[in-house]
Chains A and B, each alone.
Chain A
Amino acid sequence: MIWLTWRQQRLEAMIGGALLAVLAAFLLVTGLDMASSYQHLGVAACLTSYTPTCGAIDSAFRDQYGTLSNAVVWLNLLPLFFGILLAAPFDLELEQGTYRLVWTQSITRTRWVALKLGLLVAAAVLISLALTALLTWWRTPFDQLDGSFAPHGFDFEGTVQVAYTVFAVALGLAVGTLLRRTIPAVAISLVGFLVLRLGLEGWARPNYVPPVVKTTVPDALKRSDWLLDQYLQNRAGQQLSFLDVMRTCGITRGKQVSLSNSCLSQHGIVTVLTYQPADRFWQFQGIESAIFLGLAAGLLALTIWWVRERIA
């Protein structure tokens, strides 16, 4: 069975392997370059003791690597890509009817489905662990600057990559098993994955645990906290727009004056911060991973049940 699964997935494994290799090469080259600039520019030193030049250093580093860092966000699609790549041969087997050949050899379909699913999930875990390791290393400079709680870091580090990939493969397998048509199954899995993944990130993740709301005069926040919202508020507790504040402080359009903290404190204007403290990182990783892995377990159970009971 292991031989057969490997032989059936050989082409997909080669495509996936080639992609992983190209990706690893790209991340290694850019990652090493970024790490050396990080040292060279002296960004690390600024983190321990802030000197007047640090603002310029920080901007220089971000100017140089910001585009790259934004491009890497696209790698969020990798769990989906690998999930579908792993699930497709299984779906094709059900579509093309070759399962009738395998299930009438001296092997039960229960054993067949258990072994296949086991191997595919194991492959998904291995691939996503490799990706997590690679991306976590690559992001080291940004993690030190900004922490890893905001989506740019959270999505690639910890345990969520594994959970996303296992969920994607389970979704591809379950939909393919129910429909017995590979292309519609791939399309539905794509949409299903993106809706859940983006929906949770946008609406659910900021509130897994109620965020901390803090009122400060100077806006002090740890770099690694995940800032969700920030606004200015007057003594009466009303939210102020930037224009309101300018008017209050007597700044008129065209005059080049910066808002001074003294003006703000004089009028009792404070900054209200809504954020998730950095020490909740692993708790949130756990919650999000549990959601995706729980759904994946349900989908895999459905696949096994369907194969055992509903396919002839």
Chain B
Amino acid sequence: MTVPLQTTDLGKRYGRQWALRDCSLTLPPGRVGALVGPNGAGKTTLLQMAVGLTAPSTGSIAVFGAAPRQHPLRVLPRVGFVAQDQPLYCGFSVAEMLTVGRKLNARWDDTLARTRLTRLGIPLDKKVGALSGGQRAQVALALALGKRPDLLLLDEPIAALDPLARREFLHTLTEAAQAEGLTVLLSSHIIADLERICDYLIILSASRVQLAGDIAALVAQHRMLVGPRAEVAAMAQEHSVIQTGHSGTQATLLVRTNGRVAVVPHSWAVQEVALEELVLAYLGQQLTEAPEPTAYRGKGVRA
């Protein structure tokens, strides 16, 4: 199977402003990837380039080996895309929205889409404009899944949803991804939700990729060191420090161990890191020196 999504030195510039630059990453098949970063980090730009809505300024992007902009018909039928704010025709009924999907996609699976929405209790004859935010998101997802895509891209699909609708949405998504063997990439800034359903992480910040890799491996590679503040400088020489925090005489260092078992003095305690701490640490150091770019190479993570 060809790689669902691969970018090489990808960049997008609007005027003199870079929305995304030097982005090289690979999303391996079958993964559920989380694209994390603050607003304006380039998440939407990256996803839009993957479906050919936006053309790259520099570098290249390949979806199943084809450039979306140059070969839309090799890419579009295989990709389900849910754009930010889930644009739908408000005056159409849900059934008419599904007709749109049927008319515009050769691989459309009408039964699948209808059953999915019916099971969620979404009336097909209701106008899209009269649905709740959560239901609208489900309709957008059903449209994307009805294409029977091999890659599903979602731009902030849960940002506007209440916690219950969010959980339901992610449940539908996970179920579908597992049933169909989909590769998924969804952008979000709600890390807690992503942790439950994603196994691959891409951190975008200040228009660059800060970190990318398998979530379990990334978590295993990082440690939290807690010790006396006076010894921070010495520790920083021995370890690759991502983030430093202080409270009184205590210092907290989030370090990258790169697989080595870190040897630390007795005055320091070593703790596991949670995904959220890891993400926040990388987002926090966005303006300092960027770490070596990491990218998927076959399996695991290259440091």
Contacts and interface: CB of A to CB of B under 8 A. Distances in A.
Given A312-B48, A312-B54, A104 B101 contact: no
Contact of A108 (B55, B72, B101): B72
B103 A104 contact: no
Contacts of A214: none
Contacts of A312: 48, 53-55
B76 A101 contact: no
B131 interface: no
Contacts of B91: 11
A44 interface: no
Given A7-B92, A8-B89, A312-B48, A100 B53 contact: yes
Contacts of B105: 105-106
B254 to A, nearest CB: 36
Contacts, number: 64
A34 to B, nearest CB: 42
B92 A104 contact: no
A210 B104 CA distance: 54
Contacts of A99: 87
Interface in B226-244: none
A103 B147 contact: no
A interface bracket (residues with beta carbon within 8 Å of B):
20 to 34
Nearest to B71: A108
A78 to B, nearest CB: 26
Interface string B89-112: 101100010011101111100000
B51 A7 contact: no
A256 interface: no
B96 A7 contact: yes
Given A98-B88, A101-B143, A106-B77, 8 more contacts: A1-B104, A7-B96, A97-B83, A100-B53, A100-B81, A102-B104, A107-B76, A312-B54
Interface of B: 48, 51-55, 72-73, 76-77, 79, 81, 83, 85, 87-89, 91-92, 96, 99-101, 103-107, 143, 147
14 contacts: A1-B103, A4-B104, A7-B92, A8-B89, A97-B83, A97-B85, A97-B87, A100-B53, A100-B87, A101-B83, A102-B100, A105-B76, A106-B104, A106-B105
Interface of A: 1, 3-4, 7-8, 11, 96-109, 309, 312
